[in-house]
Structure 1
């Protein structure tokens, strides 16, 4: 495993649409392992492949309940609404108030190509939406209702 460099918001790659993963092989597994290590090192809860310069539909998420890997994810249903403050590893020190669904169901593939669905509520639903947005070239600032300031000691 290796740490990858996280692309910052001024990097044009973050505005590009990621391509579906078609090869479920060692190269993908190494990418997923590196993404997880990079996310944990940066104290994040999610990371999309595009954020490390790879235009593929791959995401890792861990909101404190264990690592989730999503390949070619898509939201198949959403319910309710929640508004909270979000940040992004590609926009360090910046936070915005964003409204997202309260519950989502995501269809995806695992690292071996097996299809599955997973449900998320609250923070996990927010993380699913945030990371899947990255795959379409969107960042949270595009949909933030307002940017907010958070002092360092308030960060989790």
Structure 2
């Protein structure tokens, strides 16, 4: 019986060593997994991890699009001012071309456009840039013949944060 006690003590020591090694391995794997998850692309995309920032860019870009895609032939100034405030880069260049065409024909047709964003989803978001997918409706009303229509559009929108505000820098119809 006296030889059994040393064998049990030796077995316990081996068991403690084995369990310690297993716990150490699990800890190392856990740390590595946590590091890997935090450094993944999804973790760097604020649209996935920052609900408040995502809501802010959705709201600002939606308001910007409504303001530049709504137009009243009798008073185009608010639309022009909105474009100055919220558009930049390629979006501004393209918009200026479309706006010039609209200004030519709108007074003769007495055209009024009203835009309404239905859904704006943020695909990617960093501290200073965002990519969105926006679904919007634009209704038009011509006073000359009482013609009205509604059209739907899907846009890929690029935005950049400039001086604390989001500016639309790219508009691509889908």
Using structure 2 for the length normalisation, give the TM-score: 0.25
Structure with greater contact order relative to length (CA < 8 Å, sep ≥ 6): 1
Using structure 1 for the length normalisation, give the TM-score: 0.27
Looking at CA atoms only, which structure, 1 or 2, has the larger radius of gyration? 2
